[in-house]
Amino acid sequence: KRQRYVEKDGKCNVQHGNVRETYRYLTDIFTTLVDLKWRFSLLVFILAYAVTWLFFGLIWWFIAYCRGDLEHLEDHAWTPCVNNLNGFVSAFLFSIETETTIRYGHRVITDKCPEGIVLLLLQAILGSMVNAFMVGCMFVKISQPNKRAETLVFSSHAVVSLRDDRLCLMFRVGDLRDSHIVEASIRAKLIKSKQTQEGEFIPLDQTDLSVGFETGDDRLFLVSPLIISHEIDERSPFWDVSRHQLEKDDFEIVVILEGMVEATGMTCQARSSYLADEVLWGHRFPPLLSLEEGFYEVDYGGFHHTVPVPTPACSARQLAAAAARRDAHLYWPIPS
């Protein structure tokens, strides 16, 4: 069974190994944290605050210990650095109150502690930086547009049939949400290994499949499900492929739908793929739209359905040659 390059849900089935320049991930730490799995992101989120609170709590306790505040707990004439700080636990709690600006009012810094004032300013600044960084990471991770791609659906099969007497490779795309994808565009690529005339083997070579780039048909108004068509002409890699050859061939068609999310303005990309055994020769997609009273209704229950239709089993080249011979006989009568 052929190994997929892109899964049906759009996940790229490629893993990077033997990456030696791992330091490059740390140069863009923000993207690295956003790309982490949720369990690791939550772990980093918790550790960032916990380590900061513990670190400054230890410093507050150390200042109190060095000044002798812990030895004069019952001495009311003694002015400590932080009132009511009697140990590491209370120093840790004071660190939390300072960084989160809770301010319960029980522990408060005095004006007789210049080193404490400097530490207070440092913790306030550093705490604001930690808040901005971690909250920003979590917000970007929650609002990632790839979740919008979950409601962009592709048909489970692609089909090959005639359209206006020409063989076409077709698949269907749809959007399950009422909010639209703005400036939506579609692309398709053929993934297939090949060997050049010089003997070079190219694994998983990528070839563009035209889905209307020249005519602008690749720009979609995706309000209702659309059938995307690739006309098999002399520029198509399927020009010489017949039904029998298609059943024995080994390839993968990757389709990519891109656009901006109307609600957020972020760019969204949805992907899917079709193996050779997922391309049905001699089928087409039935319509899903029906006209109701005052609106059009889309029946997504038949989104993946196909129906068989009469389709020549020959290749597009053979079909074009037969049509040319038929036209020659029509306009230039040839004696038998």
**Would you kindly state where each structural domain of the chain is located, as residue ranges?**
36-143, 148-331
Q: Are strands 226-231 and 166-175 parallel, antiparallel or unpaired?
A: antiparallel
Higher pLDDT, 50 or 101: 50
Contact status, residue 33 vs residue 42, Cβ threshold 8 Å: no
Residues paired with residue 303 on neighbouring β-strands, in sequence order: none
One-letter amino acid identity for 159? V
Q: Which residues lie closer than 8 Å to 141 by C-beta, 6 or more apart?
A: 34, 38, 41
- How many whole angstroms separate alpha carbon 332 and alpha carbon 286? 39
- HEC assignment per residue over 41-64: HHHHHHHHHHHHHHHHHHHHHHHH
Q: Are strands 166-175 and 201-208 parallel, antiparallel or unpaired?
A: unpaired
Per residue in 189-238, pLDDT tens? 999 988 888 888 988 899 999 998 888 889 999 999 999 999 999 999 99
In this prediction, what percent of the chain has a pLDDT beyond 90? 45
Contact status, residue 152 vs residue 173, Cβ threshold 8 Å: yes
pLDDT of residue 184: 92
Higher pLDDT, 22 or 47: 47
36-143: CATH topology: Helix Hairpins (1.10.287)
Please say if the pLDDT value at position 330 is more than 70: no
Q: Give residue 180's pLDDT band: very low, low, confident or very high (50, 70, 90).
A: confident
Per residue in 259-284, pLDDT tens? 998 877 888 899 999 999 999 999 99
- Burial class, 91, CB count within 10 angstroms (exposed 0-12 / middle 13-18 / buried 19+): buried
Per residue in 50-91, pLDDT tens? 999 999 999 999 999 998 888 888 888 888 888 888 899 999
- How many whole angstroms separate alpha carbon 246 and alpha carbon 282? 12
The top-scoring range by mean pLDDT among 19-23, 100-104, 149-153, 186-190 is 186-190
Quote the mean pLDDT of the chain: 88
148-331: CATH topology: Immunoglobulin-like (2.60.40)
Question: Which of 222, 114, 207 minimizes the C-alpha distance to 172?
Answer: 222
Higher pLDDT, 17 or 181: 181
CA 52: distance to chain centroid? 33
Residues paired with residue 301 on neighbouring β-strands, in sequence order: none
Mean pLDDT confidence for 29-53: 90
